[in-house]
Amino acid sequence: MVTTTSNEGQQGRSLSGYLEPAGAQSFFGKNSQVGDRVEGVVESVNILPYKNFQTGQVETWPDGGIKEQAHIVLRTNLEAESADDDGRRSLWVKMWGVQLRALREATDAAGVKDIVPGDRLSAQFTGYGERGKAPQPPKLYKFVVTPKPSAMASKLAPQTAQQTAAPATPAPAPATSSVDVDKQTVLQLAQIGQPAEKIAEFVKAPLAVVEEIISTGGAEF
């Protein structure tokens, strides 16, 4: 470890604080436009006190409880904006009101109860809510959570109940070009050994579409 020293030979502070990578910059800011979107792999999730943007003071509820916010760091493929930019981006989500509701809707849709490192998360700025008594209207976001492969595999564990009735003649599968399928999720599940039938059930897509994605590696989808 490199350390600095004063003129008198006394040991000073370590340089590690200067040599470590800079923190992940916020993706959304005052200049964000409606429709702006970011997606990446979750690196960390922390719950922190919410501070007033202008005063820097921690805000509290009328009963004295501290308002909280989630700090989510994503590893993205965005182009570097500076020499210190490593592609990571921060999301700050208020743990109350419309922003918390949007995050809950995303986890409910994904069938999970938490967002953890390794998950994929996308966030899109969709507009503003009603201001009410607040000085500024709340920003609205849409989140989409894709659990990491190990979590998805556990959700697709074989069921004890088995179908006994013969299936009816299946209807022709729709053309692959008209079906919106997360091919990355399909390929990840296939790589960890999940059968095509279970993958199709999980992503809610026709079996023929899933089999085509697996056979072509997603190249022709």
Q: 36 in a domain, yes or no?
A: yes
Specify the pLDDT at position 59. Answer: 95
Q: Return the closest-CA partner of residue 126 out of 149, 142, 150.
A: 142
User: Do 35 and 105 reside in the same domain of the chain?
Assistant: yes
How does pLDDT run across 74-120, given as a tens digit for each residue? 999 998 888 888 999 999 999 999 999 999 999 999 999 999 999 99
Specify the pLDDT at position 83. Answer: 87
Specify the pLDDT at position 54. Answer: 85
Expressed as residue numbers, the domain containing 27 is: 23-147
Domains: count for the chain: 2
User: Do 136 and 38 reside in the same domain of the chain?
Assistant: yes
Non-local CB neighbours of 165 within 8 Å, separated by 6+ positions = none
Element holding 18 (H helix, E strand): helix 16-19
Extended beta strands in the chain, E state = 3-5, 11-14, 25-26, 37-49, 68-75, 88-94, 120-128, 139-146
Structure tokens at 181: 């399928």
Q: Return the closest-CA partner of residue 93 out of 158, 30, 26, 153.
A: 26
How does pLDDT run across 39-84, given as a tens digit for each residue? 999 999 999 999 988 899 999 999 999 999 999 999 999 988 888 8
Model pTM score: 0.61
